[in-house]
A and B are shown apart, each in its own frame.
Chain A
Amino acid sequence: MNIHEYQGKQLFKEAGVKVLEGIHCTTVEQANEAYKTLNSKVVAVKSQIHAGGRGKGTMYHPESGELVMEGGVKIAFSADEVNTYATNILGNNLVTIQTGAEGKIVNNLYVEAGCAIAHEYYLAILVDREEKSILIMASTEGGVDIEEVAENTPELLHKVWIDPSAGLLGFQARNLAAKLGLGKMAGRSFQKMLFSLYQMFTARDCAMVEINPLVRSEDDEIIALDAKVSFDENAFFRQKQVFEDMRDLSEEEPTEVLAKETGLSYVKLDGNIGCLVNGAGLAMATMDVTKLYGGEPANFLDVGGGADEEQVKTAFSIILKDPNVKGILVNIFGGIMRCDIIAKGVIAATKALELDVPLVVRLSGTNFEEGRAILSSSDLNIHSAETLAEGAQKIVELIGGGQ
């Protein structure tokens, strides 16, 4: 789960990581008020969406699509400028390299005091899958695309791996400060910040914390100018505060949220062939094979290993919420879950939802003969397939070829 920058900074502040004074706003009036309250000559007016590249993004009118303003993060030097920028941002659509062409409507704004910056750094804490440990990455090249730094000048990206039983150790923080070329004062400020941030990362089950830029002010303080924080959804049960208070459902695909609530795993895609599968790997393979035979998958959907009739019905209704869906491919490998049960679920769902798009069902594994017999003896227009390849070819054909 991702949160907004202003929420991340609230957590930073609680953890003891230095941030600048800022105020979260949802209206232009609040933004104008915030400027007065902050009493800072320069402020940053920052769009709050769950995607990066905001500064270099573009604001568009949500209906007309007209260009409103270049940049989703602006530096304002007066009350008038704050008013203009807030007006141009709130309610408009921000398109960045990470949002895709459709962009995201900005409903939240963060107005933040300025500071005199001496240097910009990069800092991130994440879980390294290959080393199976927490990894801290830091660089003197802050404020830029870190993937480019990693690609072109990997020697400027410093990495520290944490032994899970020892935690972050003093020498690691000290050496990292030295690698960043920090002097005595700034080095001390950096180490204190790093311990606070690491503590927050583990205590709150973060998946990733990225600060770009982390800055050294002219008076040698280390300050987080940005906050990109995400959390491990598996830790929801012990992080209720963050998951309940900070989740912004408007940033998530509504059908994906609904699917999650019903225990299904669903990801919306751009195609027109709905896929209903048991198992994540098989669900991906079903999408891939659909594409291989000229179709475009409309979604990823894993009904899980123990799905029953009710769950199959919910899955169908979720797939059908997408108006692009022109046909559905069901691919089940019955393990513990029996194919005859699934077949009954498919028939019940088809009837209950008055399904009017072509449906191809491929059943394999436990009790597949019984399952296929149930489908073929029904009076519904359900096409059966023996293999995934055959199923994909059939559904592509039934909807009249590829897109």
Chain B
Amino acid sequence: MAIWIEEDAKVLVQGITGTQGHFHADKMVEYGTVIVGGVTPGKGGQTVELQGKDFPVFDSVIGAIEATGADASVIYVPPPFAGAAIMEAADAFYRAKGEGVIICITEGIPTLDMVKAVAYVNDREGVRLIGPNCPGIITPGEVGGAKIGIMPGHIHAKGRIGIVSKSGTLTYEAVAQTMSIDEGQSTCIGIGGDPINGTGFIDCLRDFEADSQTEAIVMIGEIGGTAEEDAAAWAKDNVSKPIVGFVAGATAPPGKRMGHAGAIISGGKGTAADKIAAFKDAGIHVANDPSEIGAVLLVALKEAGLR
């Protein structure tokens, strides 16, 4: 078992006929993800070629789910339309199956669109949103697996470390670090760097704790907001598995947005120092440098009698 996305999950691609959507859909098929089709309003009935095979395009998400039984949908729709694409997928999964996972890769969605979209998703029990502005989610298999997003598939291997992160390339670093000590991953989730997002750290920790495949967790945060502090406080009482943490942005000046829309220290809140202190208080093993994550994870695994 992994969390939320099984190795053989059936996946739709919203925006499959766009440059980004098509490029990444192809990469997903190459990795072994079970893509069942795509959605582009107005282009229903066409097909798209991925890795030399034709895949159907549907006009609506509900139509696509009814035809394919999809479990998840990944969104590569441009920012002006992405909020609406999330809501369409949420409603379709809720009505067609009562459950489903939506992964929104798009960066640059207006914040107020996300406020609306997140509330809409939360009103539909059983539907989960990952992102936006994130690399996606991957559950590596023995062979292939489910890669849903933009991460490089080949750096991953199936294993027992769950990874959750706000950042893309830092997640890849964390993956490489687990591999450097011969550990693979159960599921890796990029929750995204926007101020308003769907799935948060606590959702991931809760399900990693319950997942039998996951035996340790790597959690990567960054400056801005208090999600890391809240997650650390929650983990203190609720997570028994070892956690290794890293927080980016110790040198970021206050009041400046560091690339991600959400990465900003405002009103003295959201500093790396506060987050690291909260991690330490919760017994999380803190790496000061992403190149140390492997070494710190090894110590944590040994302490827990897992190595």
Q: A residues touching B (Cβ–Cβ < 8 Å)?
A: 98, 127, 129-130, 132-134, 147, 163-165, 202, 205, 207, 232-235, 237-238, 265, 267, 269, 277-285, 287-292, 297, 300, 302, 305, 333-336, 364-366, 387-390
Contact = CB atoms under 8 A, between A and B. Distances in A.
B268 A288 contact: no
Interface in B247-267: 248-253, 255-263, 267
Interface of B: 24, 27, 79-80, 108-112, 115-116, 118-120, 135, 150-152, 154-155, 165-173, 176, 193, 195-196, 220, 222-227, 230, 246, 248-253, 255-263, 267-268, 272, 288-292
A35 to B, nearest CB: 34
B152 A300 contact: no
B220 A335 contact: no
A130 B168 contact: no
Contact of B230 (A130, A302, A366): A130
8 contacts: A130-B230, A132-B118, A235-B112, A265-B259, A279-B168, A280-B167, A284-B263, A334-B152
Nearest to B197: A132
A282 B167 contact: yes
Contacts of B249: 284, 287-288
A267 B120 CA distance: 35
Nearest to B292: A389
B175 to A, nearest CB: 9
Contacts of B222: 280-281, 284
Contacts of A335: 135, 150-152, 155, 168-169, 172
Given A234-B111, A235-B110, A283 B259 contact: yes
Contact of B258 (A132, A165, A283, A334): A283
B103 to A, nearest CB: 16
B176 to A, nearest CB: 6
B169 A333 contact: yes
- Please list the 3 inter-chain residue pairs (A to B) with the smallest Cβ-Cβ separation, ordered nearest first: A281-B167, A280-B259, A279-B169
A337 B258 CA distance: 21
Contacts of A132: 115, 118-119, 196
A269 B120 CA distance: 40
Contact of B260 (A281, A291, A365, A390): A281
Nearest to A335: B152
Contacts of A305: 150, 168-169
A140 B295 CA distance: 53
A146 B112 CA distance: 25
B307 to A, nearest CB: 22
A234 B289 CA distance: 31
Contacts of A297: 251
A265 B258 CA distance: 8
Given A132-B118, A335-B172, A287 B290 contact: no
Given A285-B248, A389-B292, A279 B115 contact: no
Contact of B172 (A130, A237, A280, A333): A333
Contact of B169 (A281, A291, A389): A281
Contact of A388 (B112, B151, B154, B291): B291
Contacts of A207: 111
Contacts of B224: 129
Nearest to B225: A129
Contacts of B291: 289, 387-390
Contacts of A147: 267-268
Contacts of A336: 24, 27, 150, 152
Contacts of B176: 333, 364-365
Contacts of B110: 205, 232, 234-235, 238
A363 B256 CA distance: 27
A284 B168 CA distance: 12
A366 B260 contact: no
Contacts of B173: 282, 285, 333, 364, 388
A238 B109 CA distance: 12
Contacts of B258: 265, 267, 280, 283-284, 300
B154 A129 contact: no
A195 to B, nearest CB: 17
Nearest to B135: A335
Most chain B beta carbons < 10 A, residue from A165, A232, A288: A288
B259 A302 contact: yes
Contact of A300 (B167, B226, B259, B262): B259
Contacts of A281: 165-171, 193, 220, 222, 248, 260, 263
Contacts of A237: 79-80
A284 B251 CA distance: 7
B169 to A, nearest CB: 3
Given A134-B115, A164-B115, A335-B150, 15 more contacts: A163-B119, A205-B111, A234-B111, A237-B80, A265-B258, A267-B257, A267-B258, A279-B169, A280-B222, A282-B168, A285-B289, A289-B289, A292-B289, A389-B292, A390-B291
A390 to B, nearest CB: 8
Contacts of B166: 281
A134 B195 CA distance: 12
A283 B168 CA distance: 11
Contacts of A280: 167, 193, 222, 258-260, 263
A376 B263 CA distance: 36
B256 to A, nearest CB: 5
A234 B79 contact: yes
Nearest to A387: B291
A155 B196 CA distance: 27
A305 B171 CA distance: 13
A387 B289 CA distance: 10
A133 B115 contact: yes
Contacts of B165: 281
Contacts of B168: 279, 281-282, 305, 335
Nearest to B248: A284
B223 A202 contact: no
Nearest to B226: A130
Contacts of B154: 366
